[in-house]
Amino acid sequence: MSASPEPVNYHHGNLRSALIGSALTALEQDGPAALSLRALARSVGVSATAVYRHFANKDDLLAAIATEGFEGLSAEMSARLAQEPDADTLRQLVILGEGYVNYAVAHPAHYRLMFGKRMVERAAYPALSKASAHSYGMLEQAVADAVACGDLPAVPVPLLSTLAWSLVHGLSTLSNDNLLNDKQLPASAELGKTFTHMLATALKHLAQPAE
């Protein structure tokens, strides 16, 4: 019996995108531990050598996907802010929260990888480190602006930023893990809007001087 032919080399310019797309499908189904570059090569009909021309190893591929995720998250939040250029500082925080939750639930495979254990050492991947810092920096800047104008209490910005991030991150994770099953709760996107508004309102109350 003749041996199976090797996959033909993939010469199309979109191979990198095709590999990332196929990897995302595999991540959603089986998680990062089960991802194999050789299996990925077969899924798009190329040789393993062609895959290694784009990604040195599996962690390199996962870092590229996580980078794409953070860039998409920043783009989502920026686009929403651009729709309301005159929003005050607290409304900006709510907009960022809405965008964060919306992106997370719309891209669960990206999101799980972005904050998974494999991507903790982001400094090893400069593009990933830059993309994640930019995304979080949008929140920190919005918090700093709100503190500066008195809409948030005079609490250290890193503390308030972590508080706000914890809320939307926790909500996104619960939603993606299908743990928000109470029928009295609204959909995740609406819940993100409600929760971030409640947080912003509560913090603004704390910023007001006692009578």
Q: How far apart are CA 169 and CA 76, in angstroms?
A: 15
Report H helices in the chain.
15-30, 37-44, 48-52, 58-83, 89-106, 108-114, 126-148, 157-176, 188-207
Low-confidence ranges of the chain (pLDDT < 70): 1-13, 118-120, 207-211
- Say what the pTM is: 0.85
Which residue do the tokens 């400094």 mark?
Answer: 123
Question: What phi and psi, each to the nearest 5 degrees, are found at residue 4?
Answer: -65, 140
- In angstroms, the CA 10 to CA 189 distance is 39
DSSP for 51-67 reads HHTT-SSHHHHHHHHHH
Q: What is the spatial distance between Cα 188 and Cα 169, in angstroms, rounded to a whole number?
A: 12
What pLDDT score was predicted for residue 200?
82
Q: Which domains does the chain have, with CATH numbers?
A: 8-55 (1.10.10), 58-207 (1.10.357.10)
The pLDDT value recorded for residue 137 is 97
- What is the pLDDT at residue 100? 95
What pLDDT was estimated at residue 180?
86
What pLDDT does residue 207 have? 67
